[in-house]
Structures are given as C-alpha cells and as structure tokens.
Copies of this chain bind each other. A is one copy, B any other.
Amino acid sequence: MTILSVDCMGGDHGPAVTLPACRRFLDEHPEARLLLVGGDALGSFNHPRATHVPASEVVAMDDAVEVALRRKKDSSMRVAIQQVKEGKAQAAVSAGNTGALMALARYLLKTVDGIDRPAIAYPLPNAKGGATTVLDLGANVDCTEQHLLQFAVMGSALVAALKNQEQPSVGLLNIGEEIIKGSEVIKRAGELLRSAAAAGDLNFHGNVEGNDIFKGTTDIVVCDGFVGNVALKTSEGLAGMIGGFLREEFSRNLLTRLAALIAYPVLSSFKNRVDYRRYNGAALLGLRGLVFKSHGSADAFAFSQALARAYDAARNNLLDRVQARIAHARPLLAGSPAEPQPAEAIASE
C-alpha cells in the first residue's frame, strides 16, 4: 500500500479543491492511502483510506521563504513533508508557494549524495501526444555543467519511473544543434553529457532547440532554471493569447456564436488535447524524499492528476532510482563544486 501526504490547505483554493481531488484520486486508486494534512475542517472528510493529520497554520501563496521556514512551524506544507521524512508517507503533494515548498523540502529532507541542488521537473504536452519533461524550471538561476548533468540523470530516473521507459532520451537545450553552439557552460555540459552517455548513465540525444520541447524530439530537455522558467512562462503567455483570440473570434456576433456551437465537439476535443491540467504535477528532484508540486490554481481534476503522478513515482521507487542513477554517474559528478544555493533564488510560481 502506497501512502501520500497531502497539503490540503495549499494552493489558491485550499480544501475546496484538494478534498474533492482526494476523493477522486482514492476512487481511482484502490491501493492508495492518503494523509490529509491541515485544519479541523478536514475532519469531516470520511473515507476508509484517508486519515486526518492536524496542522494549525497555512503557508500563504505570497509568504516569504523565511516565514515558511522559521515562523510557521506547524504549517500544513511543513507537516506534509514531515510525514515523508518520518517514513509515514512515501510522497508529499502540495499546491502551495513553490519557493516555500522547495525551501522546506530541502531543509527537512536534505539532498541526495552527489546532488548540489534540487531541481523542478515539469511535463509539457508535445505534438506526439505525450509530454516532454523539462528541468530545471526555476530553482537554479546560474548552473554549471555539473548541475546540468545532475538534472539529466535525475530527469532520466523520473521518466523511467513514470513512463516505464528505461532509457529515455535527453536533449540539452541550446540555440542550435551543432556542438559548437551556445555559451561556454553549455558547450562543457554537452561534453559532459556525451561522456555520461558513453559511460551508460544516459541516453543523450544531443543539443535541442526551443521548438523541440513541443515537438517532442526528446523525452527530457535539460536547461538552467532561468532559461526553463522563461520558456515555460513564455509558453503560458502564448497559449493564453491564442486561447483568448479563439474565444474572442467565436463570440464576436450571433453568427460566430452559431459557428462555435456547431464546431463545439471539435473545439472541445481540441481543448482536451492542449489541456495542461492533464500534465499537472511537477517533481522536486534530488531530495531524500518525494515531493510533488501542483499548480497553485489547479482545480480538482488537475490536483488529482498531481496526486496520481506522485503515486506512480512512489510506487515505482523514484527515490531509489534517482539514488542508484546518481551513484552510477558518480565518477563524472565527482569534482563537482558543492556550492549551496540560497533559498531566495528560487523562482516564484
């Protein structure tokens, strides 16, 4: 039996979204148990496989990292991660503030040997109908080639665990496919990733460009947190603009509304294909425990997807896989300059 701890108070909507999501998830996963972490209101949730774990405080979406770390010691986010630390749950899930979640997870769980910095891995839908896992997406602004190798190894473990695909392909995000392209760090990262591939640590495809993320050229795309964050948010902006234009055009007048009615099945099937909610659930990788982050604005369906992702990762021993792969790649990672990154550098959602 796999047990998840759920920060039921986090996100834009709190229990109004997390509780229906938990029920949905429990219905769909008869082997799962949940620890519902949060205030007394959760006590009214009755399910034979759910247990209420009390927590008296809530990390707000705009709380500074310091507040989450030093002041709110009984927050639902912290208590949820604590369940993982104490072995009472195999993974924690929260829709709360990303910076606070990363800082708390790092403080409570610590990083895996061989990992300097945890990373955030996000699945983005691709034209092949699957998802491309991109990391890092916001935790680390200045990365060395060693960090990029760590991301590649951890991302491979994640995709292997979630998709049952032993050697997922890895692309290094660059501004051209040729080896000579990119900054000095990227060129050195390319060399290191090729060495890792030669050592059997990775299935390295080579350089990829921004358009390859949505093409689905590789299973995984590795980049520093600054570039990853810009790519993710630029995509969100473009998708929002295109969606807005479509809606405006179809609601312009009576005729276009009629056209929308007739095209409804097509539009709704289209909408389903680009529905990012299906891919909700980012993994915080490199910690001695599993933590998954849901989008803060997730609805019950989206949040249940994040629970399902955490559940699959826990059942498929993501933690052991990350540790085993990192240990295997250790000769290449050795000599890696250990430079801890301050929590302030973590990007906001």
Q: Name the CB-closest residue of B to A349.
A: B176
**Chain B residues whose CB sits within 8 angstroms of the CB of A234 once the complex forms:** 210-211, 213-214, 231, 234-235
**Chain B residues whose CB sits within 8 angstroms of the CB of A259 once the complex forms:** 262-263, 265-266
- Contact call B266/A141, Cβ cutoff below 8 A: no
Q: Name the one of B211, B241, B269 contacting A126, with C-beta atoms under 8 angstroms.
A: B241
Q: Name the one of B241, B242, B249 contacting A269, with C-beta atoms under 8 angstroms.
A: B249
Q: Name the CB-closest residue of B to A233.
A: B210
- Report how many residues on chain A are interfacial, defined by Cβ distance under 8 Å: 64
- Contact call B269/A173, Cβ cutoff below 8 A: no
Q: Name the one of B173, B235, B244, B258 contacting A127, with C-beta atoms under 8 angstroms.
A: B244
- Contact call B239/A242, Cβ cutoff below 8 A: yes
**A205-221 residues at the B interface, CB under 8 angstroms:** 209-215
- Contact call A210/B236, Cβ cutoff below 8 A: yes
- Contact call A225/B266, Cβ cutoff below 8 A: no
Report the bound CA distance from A181 to B227 in whole Å. 14
Q: How far is the CB of A268 from chain B (nearest CB, A)?
A: 9
**A127-186 residues at the B interface, CB under 8 angstroms:** 127, 138, 141-142, 173, 175-176, 178, 180-184, 186
- Is A320 interfacial (CB-CB < 8 Å)? no
Q: Name the one of B182, B242, B269 contacting A274, with C-beta atoms under 8 angstroms.
A: B242
Report the bound CA distance from A232 to B213 in whole Å. 12
- Contact call A242/B241, Cβ cutoff below 8 A: no
Report the bound CA distance from A214 to B237 in whole Å. 5
Q: Name the one of B178, B223, B344 contacting A180, with C-beta atoms under 8 angstroms.
A: B344
Report the bound CA distance from A252 to B273 in whole Å. 14
* Given known A-B contacts A245-B274, A263-B263, A213 and B237 have beta carbons under 8 A apart: yes
- Contact call B263/A246, Cβ cutoff below 8 A: no
- Contact call B237/A183, Cβ cutoff below 8 A: no
**A243-269 residues at the B interface, CB under 8 angstroms:** 244-246, 249-250, 252, 255-256, 258-260, 262-263, 265-267, 269
- Is A2 interfacial (CB-CB < 8 Å)? no
- Contact call B226/A238, Cβ cutoff below 8 A: no
- Contact call A241/B127, Cβ cutoff below 8 A: yes
- Contact call A138/B230, Cβ cutoff below 8 A: no
- Is A18 interfacial (CB-CB < 8 Å)? no
Q: Name the one of B175, B241, B244 contacting A225, with C-beta atoms under 8 angstroms.
A: B175
Report the bound CA distance from A30 to B245 in whole Å. 34
Report the bound CA distance from A158 to B146 in whole Å. 40
20 more A-B contacts (CB under 8 A) besides A127-B245, A176-B348, A249-B267?
A: A127-B244, A141-B183, A210-B230, A210-B232, A210-B233, A210-B236, A211-B233, A230-B231, A241-B274, A249-B269, A249-B270, A249-B273, A250-B266, A255-B265, A256-B265, A258-B262, A259-B262, A259-B265, A259-B266, A262-B262
Question: 10 pairs across A/B with beta carbons < 8 Å?
Answer: A126-B241, A183-B226, A210-B229, A210-B230, A210-B236, A227-B230, A230-B230, A231-B234, A238-B239, A241-B274
Chain A positions within 8 Å of B, measured between CB atoms, are: 125-127, 138, 141-142, 173, 175-176, 178, 180-184, 186, 209-215, 223, 225-227, 229-242, 244-246, 249-250, 252, 255-256, 258-260, 262-263, 265-267, 269-270, 273-274, 344, 347-348
The 9 closest A-B pairs by CB, nearest first: A210-B233, A211-B237, A210-B234, A214-B237, A175-B229, A175-B347, A259-B263, A214-B241, A210-B230
